[in-house]
Amino acid sequence: MKPKTVRRAQTRNAPQACLVMNLARKIEDTGPTLPSGFATGSIVLTLKGEMLVEHLRAGDRIITRDIGMAQLKAVTTTRSDSAYRIRASVLGHDRPASELLVAEGQRILLRDWRAKAMFGEAEALVPVSRLADGHFIARETSTETVFYALEFETPHILYVDGLEVASAPPIRVSA
């Protein structure tokens, strides 16, 4: 009996490069019409270690899934009374590590059975509102919350409280 193995692509970097390009395209093509971002107290993985989102500034180096490290270009804040609370560990072991409050337009990267079951793909960038079940991921409209959106020159997948999430849409420079 032969062991079950996975075939390797012709070039070793092809799958990862393809993944990055596809995710970048998805982030740009499906730019949210709703604000994205993370509430005060969210923990972002940076080159200096874990930092609270409210302490990040332009120029900080953020760890990304797609290229390893990217320089933060801007942090913008918005206020909203509509948010989604994601309970700890509902999207995998320690994903997120603790309860996470995100803006309603925030996109989450799914790379497990959920992506296959819901979208027929191995991975999917999904607005948090599409994942809401009313209990584990629930909409909250009680109080106004400050959200921090992290902006880069190009789109990236970031680690926030252990969860893989999309950055804010890329900065557009007007001519």
pLDDT at 98: 92
Contacts of 76 (CB under 8 A, 6+ apart): 37, 148, 149, 151, 168
Tens of pLDDT, residue by residue over 52-93, are 999 999 999 999 999 999 999 999 999 988 899 999 999 988
pLDDT at 92: 87
CB 167 within 8 A of CB 123: no
pLDDT at 169: 79
Contacts of 101 (CB under 8 A, 6+ apart): 38, 39, 41, 42, 83, 84, 85, 86, 140, 145
Domain boundaries, the chain: 38-166
pLDDT at 2: 42
- 135 phi/psi in degrees, rounded to 5: -125, -65
Q: Name the nearest CA neighbour of 153 among 140, 164, 167, 141.
A: 167
In CATH terms, the superfamily for domain 38-166 is Hedgehog/Intein (Hint) domain (2.170.16.10)
pLDDT at 23: 57
pLDDT at 170: 67
At 141, the amino acid letter reads T
User: What pTM value is reported for the model?
Assistant: 0.79
pLDDT at 6: 43
Question: Which of the residues in the chain have pLDDT under 50?
Answer: 1-18, 20, 24, 27-28, 31-32, 175
Structure-block tokens of residue 19: 């993944």
